[in-house]
Structure 1
Amino acid sequence: MSITNQKLSSKITEKIWSSDIERKIIEEWKANNVYDNIETNQSKDKYFVIDTPPPYPSGRPWHIGAAAHYSQIDMISRVARLKGFKVIFPIGVDRNGIPVEIHTEKKYKIRMRNTERKEFLKLCKLTLDDTENEFIEILQSLGLSADFKQKYQTDSPDFRAFTQSTFIEMWNKGLVYLGNRPNNYCIDCGTTIADAEIIYDDIETKLVYIKFYLENNNEFIVIATTRPELLFACQAVIVNPDDERYKEMQGKTLRIPIFNREVKIRSHHSANKNFGSGAVMICSYGDLNDVQLFRELGLMEIRSINLNGKTTEFAGMFSNLRIKEARSKIIDELEKQGLVEKIEIISHRTPLCERSKTPIEIISLEDYYLKQVDFKSNLLEQSKDIKFYPEMHRQILLNWINSITIDWPISRRRFYGTEIPIWYCTKCKKPNLPEPGKYYRPWDENPPFDKCTSCNNDKFEGEKKIFDTWMDSSITPLYITKFYKNRETFNKIYPVSIRPQGKDIVRTWLYYTLLRCLYLTKHIPWHSAWIMGYGVDEKGEKMSKSKGNVIDPLPIIKKYGADAFRFWSASETNVGYDFRCSEQKIQSAQKFLSKLWNIGRFISNFEIIDENNRPQELEATDKWILSELASMTKKCLDGYEELNFFIPANALREFTWNIFAAHYIEMIKSRAYNNESEEERKSALYTIHKCFRTILLLLEPISPFITYELWKKIYEDGEIVSEQKKIPTVEIEYDALVSSTQHIVKFNSEIWNKKKETLSSVTNKPLSLKDPIKTQIPRELELFKDDLILMHNIIVE
């Protein structure tokens, strides 16, 4: 029976799938509280808890790669529901730290240190509030099945009190100490930074070859340095003990050019014979090697750079100068005195502040440190119990732990962050800590105690420094499981199921969380860690605001829809690897969803035949597609098991578009409309619905909007978003028919092409797909003969 003779009566009235429908669905989910985290009494092993990365609203545009990352985190949550878990999917907002301070300074054209502290904090909060709402809008528009009603903010009094409580507990365990030692310092940020916050870049710089004369002698040696501005802080010159050029000079005295101070030539294996002249000046501090050598050789530090990034009084006539200015003036003076042998331009690997991209300096400062060096072996051992997706990114963590040489400096000289809860006795200077539980601001509040615990003095001075922002971020798995507030809940859902995050913060967020949670709970914080790569532009370059290649996700989502964005993200991204961000590919994803919508409109014409009333025997064509469905389902489930959404996305598109729609539906259309053979028709309708239900269930984690709407319209219930839906099963009873696919595809394609190439004797135009054609059915397709004849209107020769 020809389809043209049938009157269609689709359950779906909208002719096209659009983002307008998505917005209506979001409101429906909100109204029905579909994804709220409601406490249940399920057993421990039925919970799936996500330690969701709190996004940082430090200004627009937000990275399209970040939006892709969060859409895939939502896929993780939906796969867990597909497996029958009660999912706890919290949403937080990270609102502490240097980025918001920098953004506030730019927005209001002010400087933090020139602004009254309370006023600056107020402006920071306004800045965050302005951008946070848009971040939440993006996350909701992406269809995140998270609990937005219980959103947390890391700058809230409750969260900051939590951070302070963990610090007080670690202090009481003897894990924190105050130390004055050389540390990384960012001049632009105005604070100490940890090694994990340093990046490296090759920067063009001058390598200056300077003559150092021996004491009371016209003889000199040449020392090459990239830091001539630190000449005045030089305390030794080292040469390699195996360097024949300096064998006779070891132990002799040199005069420092310009400053005429004397230093010794000492031998040390760290001097590279092949760099510069092979002789190295050791200053306080040019780099971390200088720090190590000062300790090892017992040298006396000379403070060279102050907190404002200027040379100190020890620089004499070059004091109070910015580093670049001091460098230029000292080089000029050296050249004037004939002390420069030559200058080379080299590419120098330079440590930079991760946030400001400013070269770091090493300055001795008093800071609080959290012990980590002595805990390295424990961290390495405990980390073995964490499953990594993909496994290759475990190495990032291991490399970082093995590279640690100093404890973690956790105090910062900034304003917007969680305050260190300490008051100092004005008499004995001893630190006094309060009881945990409240949020304390020592710089602005009197202490919650009357007497110093050491000397009974009643006068105190509050700490002005704040914590490194990772001190807040590293306790998210404890905060979301109610570590201090509800031990019953904590014991039921900790360790949490998974930490999803980017590979760029393995050495910070993942590592610091592991460190802190092991200290506080003696257990790893999560069972698994899912690590995503970078979103790169179409040229393969990492996106950054400075390069101007960042794509704002919100206009893209509004233009093509969240499901298209999400499907692109899944189909483009192999878990753990970098992925290209392309609007053209998002548009291609939209076309697939349009195809799916049209398939759904067609299928919705027919009554539902399910397992309760399936026919006794299925037709061969139906068995064949069910064999392909089983193969596709297994691929999808294997991909979901590894949380690699690239696999199910591409398997679903290939099956749905190129097999199910292009061949199967065309082969059974006549049977679907043929009321004369009830069993054959039931076989087609049972199969087409089984396939489509499975497609929708398997696609739901990736594209939840269109699957929800099609399911609701065709199958008239909300099961697809409930936690009672069943994961599709793999039925292998017809797997022998998978080999027929290549023959079916080949035959159908040949017939279609033959009709295009054959002119009609009536119209003198190429045959239409409905026109009859004479041909033979190949022997290997004999099982499908009846459906193929009806499909192509074949006259068997």
Structure 2
Amino acid sequence: MGTNFSPRLAEKRWDFSKEVELIRRWEEEGLFNVRVTEGKPILVIDTPPPYPSGRPHIGGMAHYAQIDMIARFFRMRGYNVVFPWYADRNGLPVEVQVEKTYGVNMYEVPREKFLELCRRFLDEYEGEFVSIFRRWGGSFTYWRNGTDSEEYRRMTQETFITLWNRGLIYEASRPTLWCPRCRTALAEAEVEYDEEDSYLNYIKFRVKETGEDIIIATTRPELLPATVAVAFNPEDERYKRLEGLHAVVPPLNQEVPIVTHPSVKKEYGTGIEMISTFGDTRDLMVVNELRLPMRVIVNPDGTLNELAGKYRGMRIREAREAIIRDLESMGLLVKRERIRHTVPICWRCKTPIEIVITREYFLKQLQFKEGMIKMVNEEMIFEPPEYKQTLIDWIKSLEFDWPISRRRYYGTEIPIWYCIDEEGNAKPIVPKPGSYYRPWRDEPPQEVKEQCPSGKLVGEDRVLDTWFDSSISWMYASGYTKKEINLFQRAHPHSILRPQGYDIIRTWLYYSVLRSYLLYGKPPFRYVRISGMGLDEKGEAMHKSKGNIIDSLQPVEKYGADAVRFWAAAAAKLGSDYRYSEQLIRTGHDFAIKLWNIARFISAFPEVSDDYELTPLDLMILAKLNEVARTVISAYEKFDVYVPINTLFDFTWHVFADHYLEAVKSRAYNREGLFTERQQRGAWFTLYRVLKAVLKLLAPIMPFVTDYIWRSLYGTSIHTQLIEDPDPRFDNKEYLSMLEPFIAFNSAVWTYKNRNGLSLNEPINAVIYAPETLKPIANELRAMHKIAELRFGKPGGNAEVLDEKYGIYLLKP
């Protein structure tokens, strides 16, 4: 067969600068354009649309890289994969960033000007995000129409009109969670909790009927003017004598009833508490349950109103300090204890929230909780499965219908006009679906005019909660608005995947479930993939305020995108937080080089498809390859990339390269004629079979080096190839059982040579005893290690033990 073996991969080392060239080629070839072919299965990936509010850090980009790996795998399994990328451009996140960036207040500039500032800000950061994701190897289809486009907003308004016509949306004045800074209602899911240093203030209240003092502890003395009752636990013997009496509340001296309620904790403070409208959701519950009067003192802008008396016009913290000073001067402040407690805050601007009464639109959800839980349990698959319970627990915890109206600007407008009659009453009218409506500035459509006898129409100026837009991303991703894709009817819900972080289970995931349940009576998607959060090397969340943000491009420029994607896949099990690790990125860089070296070695030999004889060594590695392939494919199919990358890394480097390649070299070259020509061809066949399988299985995670190797050897892109099921002809437990003792034998001999100052190529002038299971590969072992004599079984005499577990010994002559 000749002895002049020259590698077809000419370059001696992988150069990751070729990644940029490959990105250009992929785009020129339209490799990842959406193509829907009949007869092929479908996978729609409901990609998380990010807020383009700044340069993405490496933790967030790793999450998108993992999603890209899943998309690439399913393409290579023969699926029609729809993997869109677009931006979530609505709502508070953008508005808050614009206010900070341009030093403006939304309510103090013309609406049109503020909207233009939002668009300008979003365009700048969106382009950067797209560019970075492409450099990371993102194979998405870029849809320039994000959630603020007329296309998307028209779809959002259509769903609003459908739900309105079904009687599922209503307007009401009721207590709502409120952000004074953003001046808008919040849903329960938009409330976060923060630790705050504060004081527990012990204050004297007087009992009207007896004149005695009772001490009440509170962290919110500014709500004393809003107090409508004093309550203690019905089992608390200390205060039973007070039930039915009245307390005089300082400093305004309003009289309130003393009541009992089981929610009062006997061990907190003095065991007797003030009930205000509204300090928290517990207060709200007690007020509603006991039908106590409303005494709301907080305005929507966070100042106190006329019911606060002399404190009117003060902001909350200002009023708190003023009331404490007054109580102290009146001799009513007994003591103050420093405490650290949890406070609810706005999820975006981090301002402490209040509960105020406002008139909002609500989407019904409480009456559907049991139905949704049943649907989640029976019709949705979670990976990892434990996160299904997280969603169910959240659904169970809901206490309010969803307030969907927001008093903001940058969002999808609520499509309602109000017909004002002669008495000044306003009747809401919704238009037909199919157009994008801006009632605050647009002329009402004809069908709306026809329903208003007075002819006096006023457009709604509020917008919808941003999650009302985002929660139908699964409709958008599956082509609901795009005739050229038109997969919605075929894909929903069984062919849609939702990949997302656990941090937005209660928002994006829950609201998607609610919306699909109300619109279609089905789940929004069949599959949910939950990932963890990207952390810094110390295990802390990345935040600008901490100064621990790790740029998403710097390690790519230093080590290559394949190396960074290796880290993104290998850093943590699916569902767990993943720490940034430069060491793991370096390992990925080294692995790409190792893969290149393996391929370059193999490329020196011809690839054959017939007239070959497989030796037991070949059958052993092919049996292991089948086992690896099944493990990897099964994990990929469960949307996991951690198991595939670690399995492939270990097999490729520590089994195939370290052991099989070393053992097969002598047969592949066959320079000494120790093997038949057909056995030599068997070595070539096996080398290429393993290489091609490893390249295909690695391609979703490390798309650059695998594609470059494949193109160099075969002229086409690896990403157009199919990942096939393992060939059952190579399933053989007997040959597979040789692998562990084979590796142990090699390691034992190499250790002996190192210990005795021998190079690995030097012969061993001794008798080596190996386990009986390795008899079938005796020729390869002798040639590989240059063993003078190889025997099997256990020797007699004073043999040196090389590996007692596997029965490997050395007997010197």
> Structure 1 residues 105, 15: closer, same or farther in 2, change over 3 A?
farther
Asked if 2 retains the 8 angstrom alpha-carbon contact of 1:91 and 1:152, the reply is no
Q: 1:360 aligns with which of 334, 344, 353?
A: 353
Q: Which residue of 1 aligns with 2:792?
A: none
Of 255-264 and 631-640, more deviation after overlay is shown by 631-640
Asked if 1 retains the 8 angstrom alpha-carbon contact of 2:745 and 2:770, the reply is no
Q: Which residue of 2 aligns with 1:565?
A: 564
**1:635, distance to aligned residue in structure 2 (A):** 2.1
Q: Which residue of 2 aligns with 1:483?
A: 480
Aligned partner of 1:768: which letter? S
Q: Which residue of 2 aligns with 1:763?
A: none
Q: Deviations over 1:580-603 (max 9, x none)?
A: 111221111111111111111111
> Structure 1 residues 563, 715: closer, same or farther in 2, change over 3 A?
same
Aligned partner of 1:53: which letter? P
1:652 aligns with 2:648: yes
> Structure 1 residues 561, 690: closer, same or farther in 2, change over 3 A?
same
1:300 aligns with 2:289: no
Q: Which residue of 2 aligns with 1:511?
A: 510
- Give the match's secondary structure for 2:426: coil
1:173 aligns with 2:166: yes
Asked if 2 retains the 8 angstrom alpha-carbon contact of 1:698 and 1:728, the reply is no
C-alpha distance in 2, partners of 1:731/1:548? Answer: 56
> Structure 1 residues 603, 404: closer, same or farther in 2, change over 3 A?
same
Q: 1:189 aligns with which of 173, 182, 188?
A: 182
Aligned partner of 2:679: which letter? E
**1:415, distance to aligned residue in structure 2 (A):** 1.1
- Give the match's secondary structure for 1:526: coil
**1:170, distance to aligned residue in structure 2 (A):** 0.7
> Structure 1 residues 771, 113: closer, same or farther in 2, change over 3 A?
same
Q: Which residue of 2 aligns with 1:310?
A: 303
Q: Deviations over 1:648-689 (max 9, x none)?
A: 111111111111111111111121112653112101101111
C-alpha distance in 1, partners of 2:747/2:469? Answer: 60
Asked if 2 retains the 8 angstrom alpha-carbon contact of 1:633 and 1:730, the reply is no
Counterparts of 1:265-304 in structure 2 under 5 Å? Answer: 265-304=258-297
Of 434-443 and 486-495, more deviation after overlay is shown by 486-495
Q: 1:327 aligns with which of 320, 327, 330?
A: 320
Aligned partner of 1:50: which letter? I
**1:716, distance to aligned residue in structure 2 (A):** 3.2
Counterparts of 1:207-606 in structure 2 under 5 Å? Answer: 207-215=200-208, 217-384=210-377, 385-427=379-421, 428-449=425-446, 456-483=453-480, 489-495=487-493, 496-606=495-605
C-alpha distance in 1, partners of 2:154/2:711? Answer: 45
Identity %: 43
Asked if 2 retains the 8 angstrom alpha-carbon contact of 1:56 and 1:94, the reply is yes
C-alpha distance in 2, partners of 1:286/1:120? Answer: 33
Asked if 2 retains the 8 angstrom alpha-carbon contact of 1:451 and 1:458, the reply is no
Q: Which residue of 2 aligns with 1:109?
A: 103
1:669 aligns with 2:665: yes
> Structure 1 residues 174, 277: closer, same or farther in 2, change over 3 A?
same
Asked if 1 retains the 8 angstrom alpha-carbon contact of 2:52 and 2:122, the reply is yes
Q: Which residue of 1 aligns with 2:799?
A: none
**1:727, distance to aligned residue in structure 2 (A):** 4.0
C-alpha distance in 2, partners of 1:387/1:14? Answer: 46
- Give the match's secondary structure for 2:650: helix
Of 544-553 and 456-465, more deviation after overlay is shown by 544-553
Asked if 2 retains the 8 angstrom alpha-carbon contact of 1:238 and 1:281, the reply is yes
**1:459, distance to aligned residue in structure 2 (A):** 1.7
Of 177-186 and 584-593, more deviation after overlay is shown by 584-593
C-alpha distance in 1, partners of 2:159/2:120? Answer: 28
Aligned partner of 1:90: which letter? P
Of 450-459 and 31-40, more deviation after overlay is shown by 450-459
Q: Which residue of 2 aligns with 1:776?
A: 767
Q: Deviations over 1:360-402 (max 9, x none)?
A: 1111111100000011111111112100001100011100111
- Give the match's secondary structure for 2:242: coil
C-alpha distance in 1, partners of 2:109/2:247? Answer: 47
1:633 aligns with 2:632: no
C-alpha distance in 2, partners of 1:530/1:614? Answer: 46
Of 570-579 and 780-789, more deviation after overlay is shown by 780-789
**1:59, distance to aligned residue in structure 2 (A):** 1.1
Q: Deviations over 1:471-515 (max 9, x none)?
A: 110111112334366596322222232111111111111111111
Asked if 1 retains the 8 angstrom alpha-carbon contact of 2:35 and 2:80, the reply is no
Q: Deviations over 1:116-152 (max 9, x none)?
A: 111111111111111101111122122222222x443
Asked if 1 retains the 8 angstrom alpha-carbon contact of 2:261 and 2:286, the reply is no
**1:739, distance to aligned residue in structure 2 (A):** 2.7
Aligned partner of 1:472: which letter? D
**1:197, distance to aligned residue in structure 2 (A):** 0.9
**1:772, distance to aligned residue in structure 2 (A):** 2.6
Q: Which residue of 1 aligns with 2:53?
A: 58
> Structure 1 residues 343, 290: closer, same or farther in 2, change over 3 A?
same
Asked if 1 retains the 8 angstrom alpha-carbon contact of 2:697 and 2:723, the reply is no
Q: Which residue of 2 aligns with 1:89?
A: 83
Q: Which residue of 2 aligns with 1:708?
A: 707
> Structure 1 residues 614, 152: closer, same or farther in 2, change over 3 A?
farther
C-alpha distance in 2, partners of 1:199/1:577? Answer: 21
Aligned partner of 1:448: which letter? P
**1:39, distance to aligned residue in structure 2 (A):** 3.4
Q: 1:120 aligns with which of 96, 114, 131?
A: 114
1:70 aligns with 2:64: yes
> Structure 1 residues 184, 18: closer, same or farther in 2, change over 3 A?
farther
Structure 1: 5+ residue runs without aligned partners? 759-765
Of 382-391 and 73-82, more deviation after overlay is shown by 73-82
1:753 aligns with 2:738: no
Aligned partner of 1:504: which letter? D
**1:550, distance to aligned residue in structure 2 (A):** 2.4
**1:303, distance to aligned residue in structure 2 (A):** 2.3
Q: Which residue of 1 aligns with 2:6?
A: 9
Asked if 2 retains the 8 angstrom alpha-carbon contact of 1:450 and 1:458, the reply is no
Structure 1-normalised TM-score? 0.94
Q: Which residue of 2 aligns with 1:762?
A: none
**1:731, distance to aligned residue in structure 2 (A):** 4.7
> Structure 1 residues 302, 550: closer, same or farther in 2, change over 3 A?
same
Aligned partner of 1:226: which letter? T
Asked if 1 retains the 8 angstrom alpha-carbon contact of 2:430 and 2:448, the reply is no
Q: Which residue of 2 aligns with 1:153?
A: 146
Aligned partner of 1:175: which letter? L
1:42 aligns with 2:42: no
Q: Which residue of 2 aligns with 1:623?
A: 619
C-alpha distance in 1, partners of 2:197/2:729? Answer: 63
> Structure 1 residues 620, 249: closer, same or farther in 2, change over 3 A?
same
Q: Which residue of 1 aligns with 2:803?
A: none
C-alpha distance in 2, partners of 1:227/1:453? Answer: 52
C-alpha distance in 2, partners of 1:145/1:275? Answer: 56
Of 210-219 and 304-313, more deviation after overlay is shown by 210-219
C-alpha distance in 1, partners of 2:194/2:103? Answer: 29
C-alpha distance in 1, partners of 2:209/2:740? Answer: 91
Q: Which residue of 2 aligns with 1:608?
A: 607
C-alpha distance in 2, partners of 1:628/1:540? Answer: 36
Q: CA RMSD in A?
A: 2.0
Structure 2-normalised TM-score? 0.92
Asked if 2 retains the 8 angstrom alpha-carbon contact of 1:97 and 1:417, the reply is yes
> Structure 1 residues 785, 455: closer, same or farther in 2, change over 3 A?
closer
- Give the match's secondary structure for 2:544: coil
Asked if 1 retains the 8 angstrom alpha-carbon contact of 2:478 and 2:486, the reply is no
How many pairs align? 779
Asked if 2 retains the 8 angstrom alpha-carbon contact of 1:153 and 1:159, the reply is yes
C-alpha distance in 2, partners of 1:430/1:569? Answer: 54
> Structure 1 residues 663, 274: closer, same or farther in 2, change over 3 A?
same
1:744 aligns with 2:746: no
Asked if 2 retains the 8 angstrom alpha-carbon contact of 1:420 and 1:467, the reply is yes
